[in-house]
Structure 1
Amino acid sequence: MLEGRDLPNLQKVFDSGATASLSTRSATAYSSLENGYATLGAGNRANAGSLGAAAFNRSEEVDNSTACQTYHRRTGWACDGDILQLGIVDAVVSNELELYDAEVGTLGSALRDAGLHVAVFGNADGPVLTDESRRDVADQPAFEPGPLDTELPTEQAQAPTVKLGRSVAFAAMNRRGIVERGTVSEKSLLVDDPRFPYGVRMSNAKTMERIQPQLADLSYLVVEASDLERVDRAKRLATVEQNDELIGLALANADELLGQLIAMAPLEENLYMVVSPAPPRGIGGLTVFAMAGPGVESGLAVSATTRRAGYVELTGVAPTVLAELGVEVPDDVTGRRITATGRPWTIEGFIRANEKGIVGEQLRKPAFLAFVAAFAVLLVSAAAYFYRRPSSKAFTFAAVWSLYLPASMFLVVLLPFASWTTGVNLVVMGSIALVLALLTWPLRRFGRLWCLGAA
């Protein structure tokens, strides 16, 4: 997406700071921007729920009320902030049903408890709200499925007429779903522009006009490149060539906004992070992370979670922000701080890492199903066979082959695979397991060493 484009301000962050491929895994099996932002703000793998994009400025009209009235009606809490996440109850309940015990809004609460000020600016609505659609949009599903999203709950698989795009609030809200400052209103941030999807784009002038008066006492500022989300949502309506053109327009607009922010708050005095919370719809894989500022050495980034230079996780953003601001990291944050290694990086290395991530993501489910199916057939056949005969080399070999299937899945991504389909990858995976089983088979003559070799 970034290769070959003239993006001087983004390039400045990449060149002067620490960069890595970013794993955006959340609490669910599918990737979405909503879950990505929820994970970022929780410092743990989180679920945004089915209303994750339903954030509004307190005075916006929604659900035949103001957003503040709707929020109070749903929660009973005071509206003590500019932005309110109207789906906060659904998000909390959704995470109670998950395995990770994530607390959405942990980052925002920690900063607020420390007396620090935060703000969010972004709106990825598309199509934008009208007076008619605004009445009931707060109850629409937040997630619009991509081509590979086949396991969505029924309520999330329904693509709404108007797609809210305000999940960026998760990145700075507290545990009650409140962001102290900022705006996610389309009227405050967007302007008409027929070149962009849905005929609107993020206005850098409007955005900076909102940010500038508050910047002096802000400790944590989140600004979303919202045009990129609209481009990704509309890509199924555009040709491949035109989609690439739209990506270029959105990136150029985002790069210009970043340049204006750097001019107002210099890199030499402030820590900047470039974070992509979710991969493009229907593709999967890794995204990009970069941070630059005082004390950040140029090169690859790493965290104690991944322990691999050039690879970090989305859960590491929250502890990195808290550490930078001198705030104690809460116990329910499972991510670890991201740091710089000083080791050089190349764009080719990141492209290769992303390709591996895409193939691994696409292969994970079919490989698991193939392993379970093969093992089930083996067990049933073995039971039927051993009922008549106590031992069999054929079944012993088949059992060893099945044990190598999980390991062979990880070996597939080390091979040249760019043009391979999932079916071909499965065949290769089975073949690798077969080769490993054949190599191990002669060890059976050494008695117990045979068991060690097979393991």
Structure 2
Amino acid sequence: MKRRRMKSPGLSTVLALVFCAVIVAGLAAALHLPDRKSGRADPPGLKACSSMPSFDADRSPRAGGKAVVVFLDRVGLSDLNQANTPHIDHLIQNGGIGLMTTNTGGNRSQRDTYITMGAGTRIIGSAKSSLAFDAGEDYQGVSVGSLYQQISGRNPPAEAVVDLGYAQSVRNNSKKPYTVTIGALGTALRDAGYHAAAVGNCDTPNEYHRYLAPFLMDDQGIIPKGSVDRSFLVEDSERPFGIRTDYHLLYDKVQKIWGDSDVIAIQLGDTSRA
């Protein structure tokens, strides 16, 4: 009997850089690093990363440190090697690097990979997985807080990010032959007393793509703090879909929730649209 050859996963499906608060707080120093890859053209989507402001080195993290997860979708190691990314180079040179392959219960789409990482086991998302909103937003003319109350019977915290598709994701995975906890990561953080937050999105003009929520939400579809609304998008005719991420606003939002959060997930967005 022939052994079926397994298809190797694409390294560029989801690349997450995880680094501790001490490194993040000192990121300002990286602004003055010499460019060791000058003369090389940046791959599409990575140019925007060079315009990101630095974190304030004087802002001290809370006792015990923080974890920050930055998502650069559809970026592989070869892209980072070719592009002009001095800040990321600094993190790699002074930290560690590793690869993680995440098998989902479906395919390697954002819909399935993000929610699988959040659950810690092979699952699938739903058509509504990306429908995450700030609690104060409206969706189809109805307040998100009201819609969430209809789905769950509970009112979300005013500063929360809520995923309106979490209940459907629970139903989609209810018959798996193994234990599934949708939102296991966020639930573990909540139960241990840690505060999670999410900032950013990879929306296109006519669609919501807010996959940080299925990654970091708890078992109620809630991330306690953050912002994933469309205020991060600015018009730019030279970018895919005619929009790009406003990194200065992204930075301001992170600074706003920095002191009250222990785990922060940041979606840059531009590489997802490239």
Question: What TM-score results when the alignment is normalised by the length of structure 2?
Answer: 0.67
1:167 aligns with 2:167: no
1:185 aligns with 2:229: yes
From 193, 211, 233, the counterpart of 2:254 = 211
Whether the 8 Å contact between 1:37 and 1:168 is mirrored in structure 2 is: yes
Structure having the larger proportion of residues in helix: 1
Whether the 8 Å contact between 1:95 and 1:103 is mirrored in structure 2 is: no
State the partner residue of 2:187: 109
Whether the 8 Å contact between 2:166 and 2:214 is mirrored in structure 1 is: no
From 93, 112, 116, the counterpart of 1:15 = 93
Question: What percentage of residue pairs aligned between the two structures are identical?
Answer: 27
Which residue identity is paired with 1:177?
G
Which residue identity is paired with 1:43?
G
User: Which string of whole-angstrom CA distances, capped at 9 and with x for unpartnered residues, describes residues 44-84 of structure 1?
Assistant: 22222221101111121113311111111122122125211
Structure 2: runs of 5 or more not aligned: 1-78
State the partner residue of 2:24: none
Whether the 8 Å contact between 1:35 and 1:47 is mirrored in structure 2 is: yes
1:194 aligns with 2:272: no
Whether the 8 Å contact between 1:63 and 1:70 is mirrored in structure 2 is: no
Which residue identity is paired with 1:173?
M
Task: Spell out the pairing of 1:372-383 with structure 2 (5 A cutoff).
Answer: none
Q: Secondary structure at the match of 1:23?
A: coil
Sort the Cα spacing of 1:49 and 1:101 in 2 relative to 1 into closer, same or farther, 3 A. farther
Distance 1:4 1:179 in 2: 35
Distance 1:223 1:185 in 2: 13
Q: Secondary structure at the match of 1:166?
A: coil
State the partner residue of 2:62: none
Tell me the CA shift for residue 178 of structure 1: 0.6
Number of residue pairs the alignment of both structures matches: 195
Which residue identity is paired with 1:70?
L
1:65 aligns with 2:65: no
Which residue identity is paired with 1:184?
V
Q: Over alpha carbons, which structure has the higher Rg? A: 1
Which residue identity is paired with 2:81?
E
Distance 2:138 2:268 in 1: 24
Whether the 8 Å contact between 2:235 and 2:242 is mirrored in structure 1 is: yes
Task: Spell out the pairing of 1:118-267 with structure 2 (5 A cutoff).
Answer: 118-127=196-205, 162-187=206-231, 189-231=232-274
User: Which string of whole-angstrom CA distances, capped at 9 and with x for unpartnered residues, describes residues 109-142 of structure 1?
Assistant: 1111222211101211112xxxxxxxxxxxxxxx
Whether the 8 Å contact between 1:57 and 1:67 is mirrored in structure 2 is: yes
Task: Spell out the pairing of 1:384-403 with structure 2 (5 A cutoff).
Answer: none
State the partner residue of 1:47: 124
State the partner residue of 2:110: 33
User: Which string of whole-angstrom CA distances, capped at 9 and with x for unpartnered residues, describes residues 30-57 of structure 1?
Assistant: 1111211111111222222221101111
State the partner residue of 2:152: 75
Distance 2:129 2:178 in 1: 18
Which residue identity is paired with 1:77?
R
Distance 2:176 2:130 in 1: 19
Distance 1:85 1:181 in 2: 13
Distance 1:31 1:99 in 2: 21
State the partner residue of 1:146: none
Tell me the CA shift for residue 163 of structure 1: 2.7
User: Which string of whole-angstrom CA distances, capped at 9 and with x for unpartnered residues, describes residues 285-316 of structure 1?
Assistant: xxxxxxxxxxxxxxxxxxxxxxxxxxxxxxxx
Tell me the CA shift for residue 13 of structure 1: 2.0
User: Which string of whole-angstrom CA distances, capped at 9 and with x for unpartnered residues, describes residues 381-408 of structure 1?
Assistant: xxxxxxxxxxxxxxxxxxxxxxxxxxxx
Q: Secondary structure at the match of 2:100?
A: strand
Distance 2:156 2:259 in 1: 24
Distance 1:34 1:101 in 2: 20
Which residue identity is paired with 2:256?
P
Whether the 8 Å contact between 1:122 and 1:226 is mirrored in structure 2 is: yes
Q: Tell me how large the CA RMSD over aligned residues is.
A: 1.5
Question: What TM-score results when the alignment is normalised by the length of structure 1?
Answer: 0.41
Distance 2:269 2:166 in 1: 22
Which residue identity is paired with 2:156?
C
State the partner residue of 1:92: 170
Which residue identity is paired with 1:196?
R
